[in-house]
Chain A
Amino acid sequence: DARVTQTPRHKVTEMGQEVTMRCQPILGHNTVFWYRQTMMQGLELLAYFRNRAPLDDSGMPKDRFSAEMPDATLATLKIQPSEPRDSAVYFCASGSWERPPQHFGDGTRLSIL
């Protein structure tokens, strides 16, 4: 079965370091979503893309977070500089505008010390 692939699965780093999370969407999917799982807010949408164009990144702190899709097979989420409050599980999901639903990757568990 096709899957959304996220790397790394786990990341522990110190405050102030740059963190890059990667997502390979399912081949043929034209929408990509970044979510963050937190204790307080459940599953929170950070940004999403359709046909590689960013459609909505209003859920993302712009001063330190950035999301890009350099090509159709790769989406990245960067945090620079990272802070302890960024510790969470970050999920990527991909979907097809014509054929829902969204399929989730296994997530990146991020810990900022």
Chain B
Amino acid sequence: ILNVEQSPQSLHVQEGDSTNFTCSFPSSNFYALHWYRWETAKSPEALFVMTLNGDEKKKGRISATLNTKEGYSYLYIKGSQPEDSATYLCAPEETSGSRLTFGEGTQLTVNP
């Protein structure tokens, strides 16, 4: 089982603030890194899948970067809105189609 660490564990920001969180994972045996957004009482929703070192993905105000050599990924949210409040999970994948190992997530609360 991979050791996946996400930080911070929780984060409170004001509406309009930009923020970012970190996902650390073992750099060996890497195939892909997944980011999910998980709202309370709902199911996790896929945000990004990244495979290549230096990959950058963007979806609206949310973007992510990947460094496979050192084993980390950053998720950025620009101009946070209350609807961005959720837990953000990352999960590395060792080989194509294999299990994902989820981190414990960063719980983001955006105050209006």
Which residues of A does B touch, CB under 8 Å?
30-31, 33, 42-43, 45, 48, 50, 55-56, 91, 93, 95-98, 100-107
Contact = CB atoms under 8 A, between A and B. Distances in A.
Interface in B34-70: 34, 36, 42-46, 49
Interface string B87-102: 0010001001111111
Contacts of A102: 34, 46, 100
Nearest to A50: B97
B104 interface: yes
Interface of B: 32, 34, 36, 42-46, 49, 89, 93, 96-105
A104 B99 CA distance: 14
B97 A95 contact: yes
Contact of A42 (B42, B93, B97, B102): B102
Contacts of A98: 96
A97 B45 CA distance: 18
Contacts of A95: 97
Contacts of A101: 34, 36, 46, 49
B46 A103 contact: yes
A50 B98 CA distance: 9
Contacts of B49: 100-101
Contacts of B101: 45
12 contacts: A33-B99, A42-B104, A45-B102, A48-B99, A55-B99, A91-B44, A100-B46, A101-B36, A101-B46, A102-B46, A105-B43, A106-B43
Contacts of B93: 100
B32 A100 contact: yes
A43 B43 CA distance: 11
